[in-house]
Amino acid sequence: MEQSVALWLSALLLFMKRLLLIPTLLFAAIPALAAAALDSTIRAVTVYNDRAIVTRSARAELHEGINELLIEGLPASLLDDSLQASGNGTATATILDISTREHFVAATPDPRRAALEEQLTSLREEKRSLSDRAALIKTQRDLIERLQNSAVSIASGVEKAERPKLAEVQETLAYGKAETEKLNAALQALDRELAVLEEQISAQQHQLDELPPVSPRRSVKTATLRVQASHAGDLDIELRYTTPHAGWRPSYDARVFTADNRVELGYYAQVRQSTGEDWENVALTLSTARPSLGGHAPKLSPWPLDLLAEESDSPPGIRPLARQAELLASPAPAAAQARMTFDLVSADYAEAQVDRSASVATFQVEAPATIPSDNSAKKISVTTLDLEAELAYRATPKRLPTAFLDASVRNTSDYPLLPGKMSVFVDHGFVASSRLEHTSPGDAFNLALGADEGIAITHKQTRRFTEQVGLMTRSTRNSYEYLITVKNNKAGPVHLIVSDQVPVSRNEKISVKVQAPAARDAKPDAEGLLEWALDLAPGETRELPLKFSIEYPQGLSVSGL
């Protein structure tokens, strides 16, 4: 009986061992889920005025089942909510999810900053080594000085037989002098090397300071994609994310050709970025959209009016303007700050094609661009516009007897001209720096092209007198006469607009009468300003008389005379 029980227990134990082995065999048949780190490169970047959308590309070899893919070394500043991924390839795959994780590193992840910091560390170590050598030389020099002093000193109580001989003293002094000279020369050489090192350290430190500041948190991010593949194959992945610390601003070079009445407007983009990763040979797109403004127009809050509280010391009435300003300054509702998703509109920069129907304009730069992550401005050519200009000279000889050239230019292109700095050139010569305001297609803008000494202008007073008029009611009349002379010394005809003024009466007792010019030539406006529009042939001289009188009751004092 006992033997039968023992055999039954042995059989049961063997069955349980085999049963426990089945899950192990089953799990061994399932492929292990191992994370694969992918090599990725930045392929394209779309830059807005305050951020950028970066597109990275990578290739993955997928096995059947669930694959975990890692894209490492992403900037810590990327916005996690903006992370998107797509892919295509020979594998039939589904992207299950995507997430990011921040990793802290011992050294700064910015390679440019890391290289400068390493160079600074090396230079400072070399400086310390030289400083140690200089300290050692100074110690040797002090020892020699003490040896010389001991050679010539005679201790009290020493017998004459023990005193050093003159020859020995001279030999010691000569040796000390030679060695001191050698040590001084070596010390001077070290001082020169230290001075050079100090300059190099200062220069490297300035370069480091020019880089954008970094967060004390030295970190990078890793994107993790989980992909389900129905069968093995490869998959080309595109990873897109938004990162701040990037933007672009327009700038312009306006080249005016006076002989052709033409303006060649160079449209440039000043692109900066300090995202933490360099953009090397990327397809660059510039967008005029402003995502920071949100997707909707802000809503107004109620502007209530009420009487002041009875216990207030202020008199009853409307709430003060300070309260109104407080209401106007109240924060907009959260809906006004909602994020907007933009459909990027492709535009062929080379042919200057812009979609007018889109809410934003995008410029696709033709050549690959490289933008380092050092916040330095990279000037990139967008296009060159050939625009017609209406040139005219303007002068206000009462203030300054000089003619200034102006150009009225109409934007006949499909490009919106955004506000930006502009350098102005006239016939290949630089004349001024100015600013171009926002100019939509079809609108006009003015260019101030500076003074032109080719037109001679003089302004002088030819006559002024005061007289008493009237029989029954005596009045005082002041009469003024001026003469403006202009001469075109240029080789071609010019259009010149000359401005001047007459006084304006602010009292019915004061009367201003204009005798010249005639109304058909120049008529003062409500503020007394008048303009002559002249077309001058080469070498032509024109005289412009200005005569007016001011009459007021005798005995009154008139301000402004």
The domain containing residue 72 runs over which residues?
35-109+218-243
Q: Are residues 135 and 188 in the same domain?
A: yes
The values of phi and psi at residue 274, to 5°, are -140, 50
C-beta of residue 256 within 8 angstroms of C-beta of residue 428: no
Q: How far apart are CA 95 and CA 141, in angstroms?
A: 75
3-state DSSP of 351-372: CCCCCCCCCCCEEECCCCEEEC
The pairing of strands 420-426 and 246-257 is parallel
Q: Are residues 274 and 381 in the same domain?
A: yes
Domain boundary among 431, 452, 473: 452
What is the pTM assigned to this prediction?
Answer: 0.61
Q: Considering the domain boundaries, does residue 433 fall inside one?
A: yes
* pLDDT (tens digit per residue) in 544-554: 999 999 999 98
Q: Are residues 77 and 202 in the same domain?
A: no
* pLDDT (tens digit per residue) in 288-343: 887 766 656 778 888 887 776 654 444 444 444 444 444 334 444 443 333 333 33
Q: Are residues 263 and 349 in the same domain?
A: yes
Q: Considering the domain boundaries, does residue 535 fall inside one?
A: yes
User: Residue 163 — very low, low, confident or very high, per pLDDT cuts 50/70/90?
Assistant: low
User: Residue 207 — very low, low, confident or very high, per pLDDT cuts 50/70/90?
Assistant: confident
| Span 447-461, average pLDDT | 90
What is the reported pLDDT for 470? 81
Q: Considering the domain boundaries, does residue 145 fall inside one?
A: yes
What is the reported pLDDT for 339? 34
C-beta of residue 77 within 8 angstroms of C-beta of residue 243: yes
Please list, residue by residue across 53-79, b when 16 or more beta carbons sit within 10 angstroms of its beta carbon and e when fewer do: bbbbebebebeeeebebbbeebbbbbe
Q: Are residues 357 and 439 in the same domain?
A: yes
- Helix, strand or coil, per DSSP, at residue 16: helix
What is the reported pLDDT for 153? 67
For residue 531, give the CATH number of its domain: 2.60.40
Domain boundary among 422, 452, 482: 452
C-beta of residue 500 within 8 angstroms of C-beta of residue 485: no
* pLDDT (tens digit per residue) in 21-46: 544 444 444 444 557 889 999 999 99
Q: Are residues 471 and 354 in the same domain?
A: no
Q: Considering the domain boundaries, does residue 146 fall inside one?
A: yes
- What distances in angstroms separate CA 109 from CA 99, 254, 330, 526, one per listed residue? 21, 41, 41, 67
User: Residue 395 — very low, low, confident or very high, per pLDDT cuts 50/70/90?
Assistant: very high
C-beta of residue 445 within 8 angstroms of C-beta of residue 414: no
Token pair 């009459």 is found at 551
Q: How far apart are CA 487 and CA 458, in angstroms?
A: 9
- Helix, strand or coil, per DSSP, at residue 537: coil
Q: How far apart are CA 24 and CA 74, in angstroms?
A: 39
Q: Are residues 184 and 149 in the same domain?
A: yes
What is the reported pLDDT for 168? 72
Chain mean pLDDT for the chain: 80
- The C-alpha angle with vertex 452 and arms to 447 and 458, in degrees rounded to 5, equals 120
| Cβ neighbours for 268, distance < 8 A, ≥ 6 positions apart | 250, 251, 252, 253, 379, 380, 381, 382
What is the reported pLDDT for 178? 83
Q: How far apart are CA 60 and CA 37, in angstroms?
A: 9
Q: Considering the domain boundaries, does residue 312 fall inside one?
A: no
Q: How far apart are CA 105 and CA 174, in angstroms?
A: 60
Q: Are residues 63 and 129 in the same domain?
A: no
Tokens of 168: 């020995």
What is the reported pLDDT for 534? 93
C-beta of residue 258 within 8 angstroms of C-beta of residue 112: no
User: Residue 18 — very low, low, confident or very high, per pLDDT cuts 50/70/90?
Assistant: low
Whether the pLDDT of residue 401 is over 90: the answer is yes
* pLDDT (tens digit per residue) in 45-67: 999 988 999 999 999 999 989 99
Q: Are residues 429 and 508 in the same domain?
A: no
Among 292, 207, 285, 295, which Cα is nearest to 248's? Answer: 285
Q: Considering the domain boundaries, does residue 19 fall inside one?
A: no
* pLDDT (tens digit per residue) in 343-372: 333 333 333 334 444 457 788 888 899 998
Q: How far apart are CA 59 and CA 87, in angstroms?
A: 9
- Helix, strand or coil, per DSSP, at residue 232: coil
Q: Are residues 518 and 394 in the same domain?
A: no
What is the reported pLDDT for 346? 34
Q: Considering the domain boundaries, does residue 317 fall inside one?
A: no
Q: How far apart are CA 558 and CA 561, in angstroms?
A: 7
- What distances in angstroms separate CA 132 from CA 112, 137, 139, 383, one per listed residue? 30, 9, 11, 59
DSSP-derived secondary structure letter, 293: G
- What distances in angstroms separate CA 157 from CA 154, 166, 427, one per listed residue? 9, 19, 98
Tokens of 45: 């970047």
Q: Are residues 500 and 487 in the same domain?
A: yes
Domain count, the chain: 4
For residue 178, give the CATH number of its domain: 1.10.287
- The C-alpha angle with vertex 265 and arms to 260 and 268, in degrees rounded to 5, equals 165
Among 289, 299, 298, which Cα is nearest to 341's? Answer: 289
DSSP-derived secondary structure letter, 224: E
Q: Quote the crossing angle between the two packed helices 111-152 and 166-210, to the nearest 10°.
A: 160
Tokens of 493: 């005809």
pLDDT over 70, % of the chain: 78
Q: Pick the residue with more confidence: 91 or 294?
A: 91
Q: Are residues 500 and 544 in the same domain?
A: yes
Least-confidence region, from 152-161, 322-331, 460-469, 507-516: 322-331
Q: Considering the domain boundaries, does residue 442 fall inside one?
A: yes
